[in-house]
Amino acid sequence: MQNNNIEKSLKSYMVGVCGVGMVGGALLRYFEGKGIKPLLYDPGKNLGSLEELNQADVIFICVPTPFKAGEGFDLSYVKDAVSKIGGEKIIVLKSTVVPGTTEKMQKEFPQHKFLFNPEFLTELTADQDMNYPDRQIIGYTKESFTISKDIIMLLPLAPFERIIPATEAELVKYYGNNWFSVKVIYANQFYDLCEKIGADYNTVMESASADKRIGPSHLVVMHKGYRGFGGKCLNKDIRAMIEFGDKEGVDLELLKTAEKVNNDLMKQQGIADPEKFSKRE
């Protein structure tokens, strides 16, 4: 019954994708696999046009949100994209943004209905992660709540599906990536202890991670030839959350410690730019 509803929803909306990078590209291929041809706009890749994008009813925003010191994520690409969307659209933000952003966008562009749909993709398995997700989460504003069920039905089915307020949905993304960062540092601290006393870390890690409450992810110390967390996502997400906490008067001391230990690890390895590595999560 639900599958029939999904197909009905897919056919009742004209879908647009703004930004066809890793996230937007995986989303595009998912829709194409369902027999839907989204309207595209990505000037950097010479794909589509604003005129085409503005014919869509539902527009997924998948543009970059690079980290900007003191401001968290740089929303200029998101705001630029939204400002060019005419009429009254349903806009689904998939770009990672700090908590409260979807609500702010709703107030700034009240003619649209905004939702937030966090992505949980790994670079090397983006299509698999998109088509067969563990979770599907839609974050709503007061203005978009009534259409949130329709939008989640546009997306791949998942064993865990939730429609929650947008700010909580934005925090879900940070909760995961910051936990991964802490887990990487935890593993590295235990690795150093094992080395000091002559114990084999891998033996300890394999046996400990067999506990389903722990799990094996992010516990391999030497990842792609280096220690610590690199790439673009974990580094910028932990920094953005630390700054967000400071702004809100909450000292996220554990995250600050994890970041400091990671920075020290990078210095010890002579790595000046950890973001050059592929995403770890």
The DSSP code sequence of 100-140 is THHHHHHHHSTTSEEEE------GGGHHHHHHS-SEEEEEE
Entry pTM: 0.88
> Domain 2-165, what fold?
Rossmann fold (3.40.50)
CB-based contacts of 121: which residues, under 8 Å, 6+ apart?
22, 23, 26, 129, 130
Q: Tell me what percent of the residues of the chain surpass a pLDDT of 70.
A: 92
What pLDDT digit, counting tens, does each position of 146-204 carry? 999 999 999 999 999 999 999 999 999 999 999 999 999 999 999 999 999 999 999 99
CA–CA distance, 125 with 226 (Å, rounded to integer): 21
Dist. CA 251–CA 247, nearest whole Å: 9
Beta strand 160-165 pairing with 135-140: parallel
Distances (CA, A) of 56 to 30, 113, 196, 262: 17, 13, 60, 43
The burial class, CB within 10 Å (0-12 / 13-18 / 19+), for 32 is exposed
Q: Which distant-in-sequence residues (6+ apart) come within 8 Å of 268 by Cβ?
A: none
Residue 153: how many other CB atoms lie within 10 Å: 20
pLDDT digits (tens, 9 = 90+) for 105-129: 999 999 999 999 999 988 889 999 9
Q: What's the one-letter identity of residue 47?
A: L
Per-residue pLDDT for 2 more than 60? no
Q: Which of 18, 62, 194, 233 is catalytic?
A: 233
**For residues 98 and 73, what is the distance between their CA atoms, to the nearest angstrom?**
7
The pairing of strands 39-42 and 135-140 is unpaired
Structural domain spans, the chain:
2-165, 172-276
pLDDT at 277 over 80: no
Is 172-276 assigned to CATH 1.10.1040.10? yes
* pLDDT of 281 over the 90 cut: no
Contacts of 221 (CB under 8 A, 6+ apart): 187, 188, 191, 201, 227
User: Which amino acid is residue 208, in one-letter code?
Assistant: A
Active site residue 62: no
